[in-house]
Amino acid sequence: MRLVQVAQHAEDLGRAARWYAELLGTGPLATFDPPGLVFFDLGGTRLLLERGAPPALLYLAVADIEGTVARLRDAGTEIRSEPHVIFAHPDDTLGPAGTQEWQAFVVDSEGNLVGLVEHRA
């Protein structure tokens, strides 16, 4: 079984689509308005931005957590938690063995909390 889609609340679809396009480095796959749906691809899982969706806490993998946080800060994004080590992975149970898991938390354009994750050797 795999995750097919996750929905995230977006009161202003245009604003949210611009924010996620900037974060993800790519535009939406499709937009349907009405009824008010914007889709992005997250490595084979669809991210649906929708007015009627409840808030979700997304954790997104990034290659450079400090660089991503700096870029988002410069764009006016609220940084809720600076990059920090959460966990060391002694084996492959929850992440690549021999890495540290770094996380930071930011607030998207719609007020939703978004986690950023980097695995470092």
pLDDT digits (tens, 9 = 90+) for 85-107: 999 999 999 999 999 999 999 99
- Split at pLDDT 50, 70, 90, the class of 33 is confident
Between helices 65-74 and 13-24, what is the axis angle to 10°?
Answer: 140
Rounded to two decimals, what is the model's pTM? 0.94
With pLDDT > 90 as the criterion, what percentage of the chain qualifies? 98
Please provide residue 89's backbone torsions phi and psi, each rounded to the nearest 5 degrees. Answer: -100, 100
Nearest to 80 by CA among 119, 118, 117, 114: 114
Contact 23, 60 (CB under 8 A): yes
- In this predicted structure, the answer to whether residue 46 has a pLDDT above a threshold of 90 is yes
Beta-bridged to residue 115, according to DSSP, are: 59, 105
Domains of the chain with CATH codes = 1-55 (3.30.720.120), 57-121 (3.30.720.110)
Token pair of 78, please?
A: 């609220």
- In this predicted structure, the answer to whether residue 27 has a pLDDT above a threshold of 90 is yes
Q: Name the residue type at position 82.
A: E
